[in-house]
Structure 1
Amino acid sequence: MSQKSENNIWKDFAKETDGIFKEGYSWISDSTEIEYKKWKIIFDNFTIWSGKYSAETTRIITPIILIDNFRFEIYREGFTRKIEKLFGAQDLKIDDNQFDKSFIIKSNNKFKIKKLLQNKELKNQLELQKEVNLQISDQKGIWGEKLPKDQFELSFFLNRKVRDLELLKAILKLFKIILDDLHEMKAIE
């Protein structure tokens, strides 16, 4: 796995993916933007602040236009998520025992999420990721203000700063598969 210094990861990633490096300013991180078909996939770092607590994250965001309001959230089962289930958080099953054991799936359309997750390449890419927090969000940058009506983002985040180009490339591949599938399903423009 290729490791790069924190200072150059977005510049290096842009170079390796024919993306555009954007230099950050003030509290805004450097970023890489990658054009894929009609979408822009944006990779950056983000610090979540809550009082005295802060957490560094890496996030990936693609602005999308939903056609039918199909929404979903997929994340790896972990201790916190198990607690949520104990207190009634609902999740969907896709009838794949291994996948259902590893991931929590929420959606407003059970048929469409099952159809999306029938793609073996998509499921394989998700299973390769040690950490998965994937959703269609109506919050700017996942944790920001609510987006204007009819604006959404396909979002993915990791609870750390990523310095591994191979991991970033794998997430890029995952995003391309999801965007293509959502478009083919007529869920996004």
Structure 2
Amino acid sequence: MFTEKDNLYWKTFSDSINAQFMERKYWYSPKAIHLYKGFSVVFDNYFFSSTVGTRSYESLLTRVYCKFTYPQSLKIRIEKASFLNRLVNLFHGNLYRTLDREFDRQYHVHTMNPNTCVFLLPEIRRSLLDLNIEGLFIDTQDGIWGEQLTDNEYEVAIYVEATQLKQSELVALKELFEGILDALCDKFQIRTALTSFDRHQTVASL
């Protein structure tokens, strides 16, 4: 699915932010891995498919994600407001209102614990709107939709339904994601978690 053109695209972005570049492998996208305050932040593309009832949906996404550890429950799911997303997320927590009228009109916020929302600072909500972010998740699945992570391990992720963004748009996503990590560190004192890339580097150095 991914070609040498995708390698060049993510290599260019990696070089521009001094990130680690990983080439495409099999059906996996190339990646830019950016180290921010000890957190490994991954940028890549992802092919997503889902089925609701008798209908199937497919999207090719740009996503940014990062693992961290936290000893308590800390889950939230924020997606563009639509009937489909309300249906898909029906059993993923209660619909929460931030009291930011524009944000609540554009997004559905699902969480079992409203206190989780304290990291959604006004500047973060504004950036989610301005950058047309499709979703923001904090959950215990690898790469948003992957396998279950280990105990106390979480992943925070954002994604947009677009590929081959302008480099300036990728930088804007980077700045938003750094702001999200800063807010999570400030409000919850989250800690870094080893990614598969980190583990590979550790083993390679032994």
TM-score by length of 2: 0.77
Aligned to 2:77: 73
- Please tell me whether residue 161 in structure 1 is matched to residue 163 in structure 2: yes
Classify the secondary structure of the residue corresponding to 2:169. Answer: helix
Instruction: After superposition, give the CA deviation of every residue in 1:83-122 in whole Å (9 maximum; x if it has no partner).
Output: 5589997410111211111111112321341x222x2221
| Cα distance change of structure 1 residues 121 and 149 upon mapping to structure 2, 3 Å threshold | same
Sequence identity percentage: 26
Question: 1:39 Cα deviation (Å)?
Answer: 0.2
Gaps of 5+ in 1: none
Classify the secondary structure of the residue corresponding to 1:34. Answer: strand
Classify the secondary structure of the residue corresponding to 1:184. Answer: helix
Greater relative contact order (Cα < 8 A, sep 6+)? 1
Instruction: After superposition, give the CA deviation of every residue in 1:42-65 in whole Å (9 maximum; x if it has no partner).
Output: 011122356997542222110111
Classify the secondary structure of the residue corresponding to 2:165. Answer: coil
Partner of residue 116 from structure 1, selected from 103, 115, 119: 119
Could you tell me how far apart the structure 2 residues matched to 1:149 and 1:87 are? Answer: 22
Superposition pairs of residues 9-158 of structure 1, within 5 angstroms: 9-48=9-48, 55-83=59-87, 90-113=94-117, 115-117=118-120, 119-158=121-160
Could you tell me how far apart the structure 2 residues matched to 1:131 and 1:29 are? Answer: 20
**Match for 2:183: what amino acid?**
D
Classify the secondary structure of the residue corresponding to 1:95. Answer: coil
Could you tell me how far apart the structure 2 residues matched to 1:21 and 1:88 are? Answer: 34
**Match for 1:177: what amino acid?**
G
Question: 1:129 Cα deviation (Å)?
Answer: 2.1
**Alpha carbon RMSD of aligned pairs, Å?**
2.7
Instruction: After superposition, give the CA deviation of every residue in 1:131-162 in whole Å (9 maximum; x if it has no partner).
Output: 32111121111121111222111112223323
Gaps of 5+ in 2: 192-206
**Match for 2:13: what amino acid?**
F
Question: 1:19 Cα deviation (Å)?
Answer: 0.9
**Match for 2:103: what amino acid?**
F
